[in-house]
Amino acid sequence: MQALSGRPMTQTPTAQTPAQPQDAEQDTARTKAPAKGSAKAHFTVPANHPMVMVLGSGDALLRVIETAFPAADIHVRGNEISAVGDAHEVALVQRLFDQMMLVLRTGQPMTEDAVERSIAMLRADDSGEADGDETPADVLTQNILSSRGRTIRPKTLNQKRYVDAIDKNTIVFGIGPAGTGKTYLAMAKAVQALQSKQVSRIILTRPAVEAGERLGFLPGTLYEKIDPYLRPLYDALHDMLDPDSIPRLMAAGTIEVAPLAYMRGRTLNDAFIILDEAQNTNPEQMKMFLTRLGFESKIVITGDVTQIDLPNGTKSGLRQVQDILDGVDDVHFSRLTSSDVVRHKLVGRIVDAYEKYDSENGTENGSHQSRGRSRGK
């Protein structure tokens, strides 16, 4: 299928629909009135948008769209795109291309993943399952941070709402399975706040408990024991800042990465504070951390309540705090799901498979609660 650039997108009148005045600044498409349940939509892609940006390399994006809309026959000729078939499906195809063009106007490329997520959002909105009025373009064009030639932005609706909640609230909890961007997006917001001088420092912390390991049994000095637990936070910083600047910022105290125990007895003013892996705090630690909040500060707490590594019989502070602080003003709980996983697609399927197994067998993460470590009491 040959894809070439052409004249700007215009509305194409049909026999069923009278022509309307054209607006050269708008990308629009016109759907014919249904004829026996079928319809046709016509799109003209502006010449300043190469068709490879719309269809993808090797028509990869087009194949995603064709697979998602089997009841619509999509044809490309030069910079002309048409969709014929079921009226309902054709209308969704029209909305999808409109959203894609809004994203492409910003200079951001569309990916297969972005197209799939856009289709899912449009279908949810069409079926009445959506609980808001955000569009795919709203989600995909919300830039948080640009660094070293790449831009960090939300990729899903729940991620956008999570980011928006961080802007609007003093304390935000990001709760969801692995790979949903909870910590990464919080880190991006922290760096953004530091660079815009909303805060004077960033504090990143984690409880030093993971996968049943105990620090005393690990080799090395205290620093060498703790460092592996904090390494994911360092990795994220390297994605967002000039690596050469990080040691200088840490030496100056502008960025601090430390175990949760080091927060005790402090008041943290004018800071963006992130507690990661919060499911591995006990209730006392969670209360201690929350009460470190000082003036002009913001706290983001992230965790996955399905991956708790506390000793057997120990309650998770992250689970308990949801009941304690629910409804408290200026505290927000953002919940992400397997549909927000932005790692390999298989990760989302794995999360769903575990949830299904647990619901059918009365387990958590495939294990009975009476065995080994606590599974989220």
Statement to judge: residues 181 and 130 lie in one domain: no
Residue 7 resides in a domain = no
| pLDDT band for position 374 (cuts 50, 70, 90) | very low
- 312 φ, ψ to 5°? -55, 130
Q: If you average pLDDT over every residue of the chain, what do you get?
A: 83
Q: List helix spans (H) across 26-83.
A: 51-55, 60-68
Residue 69 resides in a domain = yes
Pick the most confident of 107-111, 273-277, 339-343: 273-277
Statement to judge: residues 36 and 125 lie in one domain: yes
pLDDT at 345: 74
Of residues 264 and 150, the one with the higher pLDDT is 264
Q: List helix spans (H) across 128-181.
A: 136-140, 157-168
Range of the domain at 288: 149-361
- Token readout for 105 is 């106007």
Residue 12 resides in a domain = no
Q: List C-alpha distances in Å: 354 to 319, 347, 375.
A: 19, 11, 14
What is the C-alpha separation between 349 and 341, in angstroms, rounded? 9
pLDDT at 127: 84
CA angle at residue 163 from 157 to 164, to 5 degrees? 90
pLDDT at 115: 96
Statement to judge: residues 120 and 161 lie in one domain: no
Statement to judge: residues 246 and 330 lie in one domain: yes
| pLDDT band for position 226 (cuts 50, 70, 90) | low
pLDDT at 21: 40
CA angle at residue 289 from 286 to 290, to 5 degrees? 85
- 247 φ, ψ to 5°? -60, -40
pLDDT tens string 251-308: 999 999 888 988 999 999 999 999 999 999 999 999 999 999 999 999 999 999 989 9
CATH of residue 320's domain is 3.40.50.300
What is the C-alpha separation between 186 and 181, in angstroms, rounded? 8
pLDDT at 225 over 90: no
pLDDT tens string 162-196: 999 999 999 999 999 989 999 999 999 999 999 99
pLDDT at 360: 84
Place of tokens 């994203």: 103
Residue 25 resides in a domain = no
- Token readout for 148 is 């070293």
- The HSE-up count of residue 266 (CA atoms within 13 Å, CB side) is 13
pLDDT at 367 over 70: no
